[in-house]
A and B are shown apart, each in its own frame.
Chain A
Amino acid sequence: MTATSTPLQRSGAPALRFSNVSMVFPDGTHALAETSFDVFPGEFVTVVGPSGCGKSTLLRIASGLNPATSGSVTVDRSSLGYVFQDATLLQWRNVLRNVELMAELEGIPKAERRKRAQAAIDLVGLTGAEGKFPKQLSGGMKMRASLARSLVLDPSVFLFDEPFGAVDEITRERLNDEVISLFQRNGFAGLFITHSISEAVFLSTRVLVMSARPGHIVADFNVPFDYPRSPELRFDPAFAELSGRISHELRGAHS
C-alpha cells in the first residue's frame, strides 16, 4: 500500500471514509481485503482495477446496499447519489417521472420535485425528451436520465459505477464534460469506477489503483490538472505521462 503523493485540497472531515473494509461473500468469494481510504468534500476520486477485483462491491458497501463483513464505512447516506452501470430506468415512467423518482421516494412534494427534475433534465441536456419512455431512448440518453435522477437530491457524496462503459467514445467524452461541470457546480465528493485510465485521469483529483481479488488499494495518484478541463488535455504530455504511470501500476495489479 504505497501512497505515491499527498493530495492537495483536503480539509475537515472526510465525506466518505473506508476503514479496514473487508468483504467475503456467503459463497466464500473474498472480494475486498482491509481496504482503507478517504474521500474529502471537493475531491473526485476514481478507482481503477482488474475486472472482478471488488470495485462495485466497494460502492455497494458505501451505499449500504451490502454490509461489509468487517471494517467500517463512514458516510452520510441521506445525501447520497449513486449511478449504476445500467441506467435502471423504470420502463413505465417517462423521462420526467423517472428523474423524479428519488425525490418522490424521499417524500418531496410534487411541485417541488417537478421543478428539481426539470432543472436536472435541463442540466444533463435532455430538454425536450421529458415525455419519452425508456424504450424510445438511446443508450447515452438513458445514462443522462439516470444521472439526472441522482442529481435531483443534490447529493453531497456521488458514487458512479462505470456509468459510461456502454456508450461510444464521443458520447462518453461529452458525458465526462457533463460530470466535470456538475462536480464544479455542486462540489460533491465523488467516487467513480471505470476501466478507462484516460477517463480516470481526465475526471479526477485522485486516482486509486486496486489489486486483483481480494481487492485493496495498491497505489494512490494525485491528478494536478486545473478545472475546467478541456478535451485537449487528453493530448497533453503530462496527461500521457501520468496515464502511463497508472497503467504501469495497473499491469502490476493484474498479476
Chain B
Amino acid sequence: MSMAAGSGGLGMTPPGTALEMVGPSPRAKRKFELSRFIGPPIVLLVFVAIWQYMHVSGMRKFFDKPGFLLPSPFTVVNESFGHALARDKLLNGVKWTAVVSLIGLSFTIVVGMLLAVIMAQARWAERAFYPYLVALQAVPILAIVPIILSVFGTGLLPRLFVCAMIAFFPIVTNTLFGLQSADVGQHDLFTLRGANRWTRLWKLQVPAALPAVFTGFRISAGLSVIGAIVGEQFFRGGSKPGIGIVMESYRQKAIYPQVYGGIILGSALGIAFFLIFGWLGRRVVGNWYEASGRS
C-alpha cells in the first residue's frame, strides 16, 4: 500500500521532460545539415580556382616554373578520366591499392587489437610493449627496406608489411586507451559480483572501448592507403602495379596530368575509407555514445 503511495509520487514526474532537453533543437539541426552540404563544394570551388590560377600564371610568377608542371584541373580530369586507356590504368591501379590496403588493414586490426587486449591486462604488460610500439612508429621505412626484402622477398607480402607497419600504432593505442576508459565505479560494480577477467573484458572494457576503437579504425584506414602506396614504391616487382606505381611511370615519362589524376584517386580512396569507418562507427556506437564537446 505504501508502495503505491511512493509510485504515485513518482508518477507525477512528467515523463520525457528531461528527454526533450537532449540533443540540438530541430532548427539547429537543419542549419547544421545545410552547412554540411554547402561547405565542401564551396571549398572545392575555391581550391579549383586557385589551382587554375597557379597553372595559368601563378607557377611562373611565384616559383619561376613552367605551368605544365601543374596542369590545369580541367586538363587533369580530362586526360586522366576522359580517355579509356589512362582511365583503366589508373582505376586498376587504385583498385589494387585498395585491395592491398584492405588486407593490410584487416591484419593490422586483428593483431593490433589483440596486442591492446594483452597490454590492458596488466601494467607490466603495457610497460613491456610500449617502447617497441613507439620504436616501430619511429623507424624509417627506408632504413629497413633491405631487411623486409630479405625476409619477405618481393610480391605482395612486403607491401602488406609496410602497410601494416604504418597503420599499426593508432589501432593499438586507441584500443588500449578505450579498454582503460571504463570508470572506476563501473569496475567496482563488476568487482562486487566477483566477475572474472573475461567477463570484465567482454561486458565492460570492450564495449567501453568501442568509440575509441572506431577512432583508431578511421585513422588507420587512411594510413593503410598511405602505407600501401609507400609499400609499392619500395617493392615494385612481383605483384600488380598499384596507383603509386602507375603514377610513378607517368612521372618518368613526364606526363603530368595523369600523375595528378592518380593523386586525386589515391586521396579519394583514403577519404572513402575514412567515411566508411566513420559511418560504421556511428552505426555501432551512435545510439549511446555522447561525444564530449560539440558534435
Contacts and interface: CB of A to CB of B under 8 A. Distances in A.
Interface in B1-33: 1-3, 5-7, 9-13, 15, 17-19, 22
A123 B4 CA distance: 9
B13 A101 contact: no
Interface stretch (B36-44, B68-76, B90-98, B188-196): B188-196
B290 A138 contact: no
B199 A132 contact: no
Contacts of B288: 91-94, 133-135
A128 B10 CA distance: 13
A27 interface: no
B153 interface: no
A18 interface: no
Interface in A213-227: 227
B148 to A, nearest CB: 40
Contact of B193 (A86, A106, A124, A182): A106
Nearest to B194: A105
A124 B189 contact: no
Interface stretch (B120-128, B204-212, B248-256): B204-212
Contacts of B3: 123, 181-182, 184-185
A101 B12 CA distance: 28
A180 B192 contact: no
Chain B at the A interface: mostly helix, strand, loop or mixed? helix
Contacts of B185: 84, 86, 88
* Size range of the chain B interface in the assembly: 35 or more
Given A88-B185, A105-B199, A136 B19 contact: yes
Contacts of A65: 188, 191-192
Given A80-B192, A91-B289, A135-B288, A129 B5 contact: no
**Chain B CB within 10 A, most for which of A91, A137, A185, A227:** A91
B6 A181 contact: yes
A157 to B, nearest CB: 12
Contacts of A90: 186, 204, 207-208
B22 to A, nearest CB: 5
B188 A84 contact: yes
A182 B186 CA distance: 24
B5 A177 contact: yes
B13 A125 contact: yes
A129 B199 CA distance: 26
Nearest to A102: B193
A65 B203 CA distance: 19
A227 B192 contact: no
B200 to A, nearest CB: 10
Interface string A63-92: 111000000000000001010101010111
Given A92-B208, A136-B19, A141-B18, A228 B186 contact: no
Contacts of A102: 189, 192-193
A105 B189 CA distance: 10
A34 interface: no
Q: How large is the interface on A (under 10, 10 to 19, 20 to 34, 35 or more residues)?
A: 35 or more
Contacts of B6: 125, 174, 177-178, 180-181
A187 interface: no
A6 B190 CA distance: 38
A14 interface: no
A111 B118 CA distance: 34
B285 interface: yes
A78 to B, nearest CB: 9
Contacts of B22: 135-136
B5 A124 contact: no
A50 interface: no
A227 B2 contact: yes
A124 B190 CA distance: 23
B101 to A, nearest CB: 30
A177 B189 CA distance: 25
B183 interface: yes
A95 to B, nearest CB: 11
Scoring A88, A92, A128, A134 by chain B CB atoms within 10 A of each residue's CB, the highest score goes to A92
B9 A177 contact: yes
19 contacts: A82-B192, A90-B208, A92-B210, A92-B288, A92-B289, A102-B192, A105-B190, A125-B13, A132-B19, A135-B289, A136-B19, A138-B17, A138-B18, A140-B18, A174-B6, A181-B7, A182-B3, A185-B2, A185-B3
7 closest residue pairs by CB, A with B? A138-B18, A125-B10, A228-B2, A88-B185, A105-B193, A181-B6, A181-B3
Interface of A: 63-65, 80, 82, 84, 86, 88, 90-94, 101-102, 104-106, 123-125, 128-129, 132-138, 140-141, 144, 171, 173-174, 177-178, 180-182, 184-185, 227-228
